[in-house]
Amino acid sequence: MFLGHYAVAFAAKRAVPVVSLGTLILAAQFSDGLWPLFLLAGLEHVEIAPGNTPFTPLAFVDYPLSHSLLLCAVWAVALGGAYYLVRRYRAGALVVAALVLSHWVLDAASHRPDLPLYPGGGTLVGFGLWKSVPGTLAVESAMFAVGLWLYLASTRARDRTGVVALWALVVVLVAAYLGAAFGPPPPNVTVLAYSGAIGWLTVAWGYWVDRHREPAGSLATTG
């Protein structure tokens, strides 16, 4: 899943308007941010195998550190805890932790059974939404539209950049999604891993957008 993770990041802004969109994207995408780093370090493995599922040419051989339920829970506590230490805002920390954990749940909906419960764990989870290309596109597009709508309803632009930067981010996300869905498979794992940098770029982009928008109406609270 790709757009779906961004959908929950956008949507979370409504629950905790003072938390930056960059932080929300970082949390929702955290597993996919770690994954390319672990691939390059040789700690996790993927194969490029077109047809693995109709939606993706990737066969996730093993990714126990970035994508097991247990480690996702650990990352959730770590990132939520770090947020709390820096900001002292409990609701924000809880939402950050929940977003990190949501990654595993949403991936479990999309992937074929390849998500471990814990490193080395026998049972692999995955409900296989990716078996249907139209189904995947419909679900993720709907999630993204709702998440974006909630974000737009929860914030307003402070200036022109607050509009342009947001919509440019939306265009880049949708283009990256369609490119992954309908473009050629990556030529090799190294190129795939380096293309994961786009995930980190969107985190920085989220902070940029957020600095040019503010909570709408009376939603602003302190924290």
Nearer to Zn ion, 32 or 114 (CB): 32
- Side-chain half-sphere exposure of 157, counting CA atoms within 13 A: 10
Give whichever of 17 and 116 is closer to Zn ion, judged by the CB atom: 116
Q: State the DSSP H helix or E strand holding residue 179, giving kind and residue range, or none if neither.
A: helix 160-182
32 interacts with Zn ion by CB under 5 A: yes
Query: Which segment (37-45, 56-64, 100-108, 191-199) binds Zn ion by CB under 5 A?
Result: 100-108
Least distance (Å) between residue 103 CB and Zn ion: 6
Applying CB under 5 A, does 140 fall inside the site for Zn ion?
no
**Residue 44 in the binding site for Zn ion (CB under 5 A):** no
Asked if 56 and 111 touch (Cβ cutoff 8 Å), the reply is: no
State how far Cα 34 lies from the chain centre.
Answer: 11
Q: How far is the CB of 32 from Zn ion (least distance, A)?
A: 4
Name the DSSP letter for residue 186.
P
Q: How far is the CB of 111 from Zn ion (least distance, A)?
A: 8
CB 155 within 8 A of CB 16: no
The residue range among 103-111, 143-151, 197-205, 215-223 that interacts with Zn ion, by the rule CB under 5 A, is: 103-111
Query: Which lies closer to Zn ion via its Cβ, residue 44 or residue 107?
Result: 107
User: Bridge-partner residues for 59, per DSSP?
Assistant: 47
- Neighbouring CB atoms inside 10 A of 28's CB total 30
Contacts of 1 (CB under 8 A, 6+ apart): 106, 107, 109, 110, 129, 140
Least distance between Zn ion and beta carbon 165 (Å): 25
- The amino acid sitting at 120 is G
Helical pair 30-40 and 90-110, crossing angle rounded to 10 deg: 60
Stretch that binds Zn ion, among 25-33, 69-77, 157-165, 194-202 (CB under 5 A): 25-33
Give the binding range for Zn ion (CB under 5 A) out of 7-15, 30-38, 55-63, 133-141.
30-38
Q: What is the DSSP letter of 131?
A: G
Comparing CB distances to Zn ion, the nearer of 75 and 89 is 75
Q: Could you tell me if 144 and 4 are in contact, meaning their C-beta atoms sit under 8 angstroms apart?
A: yes
CB 158 → Zn ion: shortest distance, Å?
32
Minimum CB separation of residue 26 from Zn ion in Å reads 14
By beta-carbon proximity to Zn ion, the closer residue of 31 and 136 is 31
Q: Is 107 in the site for Zn ion (CB under 5 A)?
A: yes
Interacting residues toward Zn ion by CB under 5 A: 31-32, 107
